[in-house]
Amino acid sequence: MTRAVVFAYHDVGVRCLKVLLAPGVDVGLVVTHADSPSEQIWFDSVARTAAAYGLPVITPADANDEATFAAVAGAAAAVEAEADPALEAAFDASDRKFAAVAHAHPDRPAIWQAADSKWLDWWPALQARGVRVEFLCAPDVCASYQKKFPNKPAPALPEPSRDD
């Protein structure tokens, strides 16, 4: 069975969480932002959706703190040891933890990316180091990439490898 730790927020996060759950992906943890009681929430809540499915949810104040790393795998150092200098310069800490967990896990699960178009530039270097990136909403992420980088040709997508 495929397992996943999901970092998500907003409508896109709810949509992608449901996409993962529909074929039976075992979501072991959902990491999201806490819904603020003082904010008028006009979008779907990842925390409420995860709770409705009986999934464990954490809402850390800082997703980059040690407790969060420990909750998802405690393995950021595994990727740091094999870091690609070009990726290291582009990765922020929140991006790095996805690769760290995927790299450290014994099954080397794919990173399922939904809407962050910069991963289109990163997946080949990650794949060369044994970390697969798959795009759940490929047409959406490609359209976003073209808007964000209108003068760059759209990169190729990796071949999907997850079980459908």
The pLDDT score that the predictor gives to residue 75 is 27
From first to last of its 164 residues, the chain has per-residue pLDDT tens of 566 788 888 888 898 899 888 888 878 788 888 877 787 777 888 899 999 999 888 888 877 777 776 676 532 333 333 456 666 666 666 677 777 777 766 677 888 888 788 888 888 888 887 788 888 888 888 888 888 889 988 888 888 765 54
Whole-angstrom distance, CA of residue 144 vs CA of residue 132: 21
Q: Tell me the β-bridge partners of 134.
A: 112
The pLDDT score that the predictor gives to residue 53 is 93
Sign of CA dihedral 161, 117, 129, 57: negative
Question: In the numeric block, which tokens belong to residue 149?
Answer: 């980088």
The pLDDT score that the predictor gives to residue 151 is 92
Question: In the numeric block, which tokens belong to residue 121?
Answer: 């530039």
Instruction: Report DSSP state, residue 151.
Output: T
Cα R_g (the chain), whole angstroms: 16
Contact residues for 153 (Cβ-Cβ < 8 A; gap 6+): none
The pLDDT score that the predictor gives to residue 81 is 36
Q: Contact, 28 vs 3, CB < 8 A? A: yes
